[in-house]
Structure 1
């Protein structure tokens, strides 16, 4: 059992909205997630948080990443595709979400606009494999994008020289990291992006002091002994369960993840939880170090004007090399760009990928 982090709760160390005080065993939510997932056995019925489009064909697929973890994904194909090979877009995110939520909505919408798209569950989450459940890794989650490119590039209906990537929220940073290393990807867009390495190690607006960082690492390091002794990880309290008085952006997260608008039982953020030690892997992994190496391939950064997280895209944009574009969506919050069809700039994304994934 770990002690309270007092001044340093995980509201300051990332999107971990509650203190990890007094967590000794798996929460009931985490146990439920463990029982429901882990074997990459896909649910075949339509269980998305958005309606099925009659303009695309949909199929569920699985493939392995280079760590041997089986990833579950949805492929969306335009119905009017004929026999031609099409440009493809891999979509991932948000961090702690599943493909039945935002990434699936983005993928289906972009398929309606003529692209083959693939939305995947990250390793250890959703319908993808990996044990224990609800673990994140900057390396493995970056690899997940590359593995998705492996898979989609082998499909007969895809032109493998015309592959793009979209990363949403926390997986937006992982997408940029993947594209910096994976030269097969010709264009990348991030939407409402979080840099998870930065927020986990420095907190929101880089507010965590060196002393607080050291304290957090001390707590998580000792928690590893507890986990090793128990043979399983301890989990944080259930996510997005509001008690009153939370910051507005946490209210907005809960409005998406815990209501019919965006709730999904397999999502970490929908009342389940990450392991207590999940942030440790991110604490000294600055994932956007090599963002300039994406050039000369283009980047489109999309962020809401009123998003608490806007500074992540602005500083990443400043560090990136040309060609690059920063699109600020008027009056939009962070969560608006998860599912608000009147806010998500699909026209701009379509133009971006049409231009940069030419025939």
Structure 2
């Protein structure tokens, strides 16, 4: 594995490159861009689980931190702006096509959770991406208009506007911690929803905890997400081969619902919904059995189409 910095507009993106066994830089390899979940980082699932596994199957994989997050640059920190998140994919493509060992005609993408929605949206207008895969992919715009805004998007927008005005006048930034501090705290608070519990068990314990995977969001800069939709124009612009992997244990974050929707709407002639039975959203991040089932479908999909 090699860590690199990729020049963005006025900052750098941090990324990790994973190489196949017996890698030979004089040869040409297919490449996969691996995108992390919302509030996560490249050291959680996108790199250390799926990146490593796909590299072992002969792909060069690049797992990157979103701008304003993780080890990537950009201010203000913890910005979650879908337009900028999608632009990150283009910048990573720019970098890949400069590498002599990457076949520019064989670049695919894998997005996990919110990274899945971003990957789908990026592929619609970034035609260097030839293949699209997602694991428990979620449409962040829908989530913001629904559960993440308490099903009151207008009220949320008004609050964001007031907070941004306060910050512009020198007030303190409002950075929200999106999860309880520990699984025990979540249970003590009476939280029973499967996705919230799963997220807390993953991000707030040794199972998935990483220094840069903080699950924080700058409240004043979330308005753009409320007006964004990952699937907008997919009936016309999403034509690449598409594989969507979801678990059938459905939670509030809606990956199962979003997976069914994009498979139904995408213009892709080759598309497949893979339902991993008996497992939930966060099980697919790192638990060996469901991850193995996901990879058993994704690996031949990428091999056939890249």
Q: 1:77 aligns with which of 3, 9, 19?
A: 19
Relative to 1, partners in 2 of residues 1:154 and 1:234: Cα closer, same or farther, differing over 3 Å? same
Does 2:155 align with 1:215? yes
Q: 2:40 aligns with which of 97, 102, 110?
A: 97
Match of 2:299 in 1: 350
Q: Which runs of 5+ in 1 are unaligned?
A: 1-57
Does 2:194 align with 1:248? yes
The answer to whether the 8 Å contact 1:77/1:117 transfers is yes
Q: Which runs of 5+ in 2 are unaligned?
A: none
| Corresponding residue SS for 2:176 | coil
| Corresponding residue SS for 1:332 | strand
Structure 1 segment 117-266 matched on structure 2, within 5 A: 117-203=61-147, 208=151, 212-230=152-170, 233-237=173-177, 239-241=179-181, 242=186, 243-246=188-191, 247-266=193-212
TM-score relative to the length of structure 1: 0.78
The answer to whether the 8 Å contact 1:268/1:274 transfers is no
Tell me, in whole angstroms, the C-alpha distance in 1 between the residues paired with 2:153 and 2:78. Answer: 23
The answer to whether the 8 Å contact 2:86/2:118 transfers is yes
The answer to whether the 8 Å contact 1:77/1:116 transfers is yes
Deviations 1:283-321 (A, max 9, x none): 111231122344442010110011312111111211112
| Corresponding residue SS for 1:149 | helix
Tell me, in whole angstroms, the C-alpha distance in 2 between the residues paired with 1:231 and 1:72. Answer: 30
Q: Give 1:107 deviation, angstroms.
A: 0.9
Tell me, in whole angstroms, the C-alpha distance in 1 between the residues paired with 2:175 and 2:158. Answer: 17
| Corresponding residue SS for 1:277 | helix
| Corresponding residue SS for 2:278 | coil
Does 2:212 align with 1:289? no
Runs of 4+ in 1 over 3 A off after TM superposition: 293-296
Relative to 1, partners in 2 of residues 1:347 and 1:260: Cα closer, same or farther, differing over 3 Å? same
Tell me, in whole angstroms, the C-alpha distance in 2 between the residues paired with 1:78 and 1:201. Answer: 41
* Bigger strand fraction: 2
Q: Give 1:174 deviation, angstroms.
A: 0.7
Q: Give 1:207 deviation, angstroms.
A: 7.9
Q: Give 1:268 deviation, angstroms.
A: 2.3
Relative to 1, partners in 2 of residues 1:232 and 1:71: Cα closer, same or farther, differing over 3 Å? farther
* Bigger helix fraction: 2
Does 2:106 align with 1:106? no
Farther-moved stretch of structure 1 (328-337 vs 277-286): 277-286
